[in-house]
Amino acid sequence: MKKTFLLALFLTIAISSMSQRRIGGNLVYGTEIEEIGIGAVGEFFFNDNLAIAPSFNYYFAEDPVSFWELNANINYYFSESGAVSAYALGGLNLARVSVDLGPFGESSDTELGLNLGAGANFDVGDSIIPFAELRFVLSDFDQAVFAFGVKFPLN
C-alpha cells in the first residue's frame, strides 16, 4: 500500500511539472474485432517534441463478448508549429477480451503487445485540438486501430 501511494504521488508530481498537458476523448475502430469504441486519451509533454500518451479504449462488441485496451505510448512530434502537427508513436498495449458463458462463468484472455503508428493534431484554435491516429498493435490480438477525437489543453 505504501509503495502504491508513493508511486501515485511521484506520478502526480511528475505529470503536474510537465510543460504541456492535454486530455480528451476519441472514437476508435479496430480491424480485428471489427467494432467501434470510445476512449479517453492524455498527452503529457517532456519537451516540445516528446510526450507520453496514455489511453483507454472500450469497444462495443456484441454480447456476450467484452473487449478493452490500455495503451502507454510515446509520441514524437516532428513539428509543433503550423496547421498540422504530425507525430510518430510507439508503446505498449494491454488488451483483454472476455466472453460471458452464462451459468458456466466467464472465459477471458489478456495479451501484452506493441503499438507502432502515426498521428496528427489539427490547429483550429487554443481551446480544442482535433486529432487522427492510426496505429498497429502487434500481439496475439493483432489489429490496426483508427482513432479520431479531440484533446483539450490543461495549461
Mean pLDDT estimate for the chain: 89
78 vs 109: CA distance, rounded Å? 36
CATH of 2-153 among 2.40.160.20, 3.40.1030.10, 2.30.60.10, 3.40.50.300: 2.40.160.20
| pLDDT class of 103 with cuts at 50, 70, 90 | confident
Q: How far is CA 23 from CA 2, 65, 120, 134, 151, in A?
A: 28, 28, 15, 18, 5
Q: How do the domains of the chain map onto residue ranges?
A: 2-153
Instruction: Output the nine-digit C-alpha cell for 153.
Output: 489543453
pLDDT tens track for 40-55 = 999 999 998 999 999 9
Structure confidence at residue 141 as a pLDDT band (50, 70, 90): confident
Over residues 4-39, the pLDDT tens digits come to 665 555 555 555 555 689 999 999 999 998 999 999
Using alpha carbons, list the distances in angstroms from residue 51 to 21, 39, 44, 54, 149. Answer: 9, 18, 5, 10, 17
pTM of the entire predicted model:
0.83
Please, are residues 145 and 137 in contact by the beta-carbon 8 Å criterion? yes
Higher per-residue pLDDT: 2 or 141:
141
Going through the chain in order, the beta strands assigned E by DSSP cover: 21-30, 35-45, 50-59, 65-77, 84-100, 106-122, 129-138, 143-153
Banded model confidence at residue 74, pLDDT cuts 50, 70, 90: very high
